[in-house]
Amino acid sequence: MKLEKKPQKEVGSYISALMRTYFGKGPTSVHVTISRPFITIHFRGFITPMEKFLLQQNEERRVLETRDMLMDNMKEEVIQELKSIGELELNEVYSDWNLQKKTGIVIGVIDEEVDKSKFKWPDGFNEKKFQEQLIKASILSEKAPEEQETYWLDNRTILVRRSNFLLPIEKELIRHGHTEELKQAKWQLEQKVLGEIEFEPVLNRLISETFLDWDFDDDLGYIVFILKPNNALVEGAENQQEEQTN
């Protein structure tokens, strides 16, 4: 279920301004999807001059750790502000980054029950097969989650919610304070595995990028797939055919 454009615009403007305050620079563009109880805020063109310098020095981990700390400080402010925008009372906030593409995402979860009947997958999309591919990816990287739910938020955004997937060794690492190391290792492994699984033929869409974040305390995690426009898959096939012909 989607809301009118006004709250989306307000949320986008607010997040852009907040990031300028905390990071010294805001994104060049923001796409907000509100499909209760989920909110995704996808931004492009986001990297600061200092971060650019650090990346040139192969300090990617330092950039990510700094961003995570700033986002942790921002969370309560985001929750309070969005409460006044369209009654968006969040109880969970997640984030992830793609430093190479200069993109990122903020995922918000509103404090209300999910009504799955309001989430409709487009005709021709095989949600069951998509879920099977997700389970395959989970098994390759850790184990199958006890619960997995997939939501088509809009024409470019798919959200996946997984719970109870942590291995015993991962729980021990968390208990001993190695949360940040585990997060970075899981991110790299899961991004690799998700990139190898054939989701695009199932979706009949090209995937632009994939974002991940977790709440290790509650054994809960989210995946967001950002899709390319509808005609991208057709154009890609045509280009490939032209190359083969030439």
CATH code, residues 5-110: 3.30.980
Report pLDDT digits (tens) over 116-164: 888 989 887 889 999 999 999 999 998 999 999 999 999 999 999 999 9
What pLDDT score was predicted for residue 201?
92
Measured distance CA(155)–CA(185) in Å, rounded: 31
| CA–CA dist 38, 55 (Å, integer) | 32
Q: Is 32 exposed, middle or buried (0-12, 13-18, 19+ CB in 10 A)?
A: buried
Write out the two tokens for 114.
């999910």
Q: Could you tell me what percent of the chain has a pLDDT over 90?
A: 82
Give residue 231's pLDDT band: very low, low, confident or very high (50, 70, 90).
Answer: low
Query: What pLDDT score does 36 carry?
Result: 94
- Answer whether 0.85 is exceeded by the pTM: yes
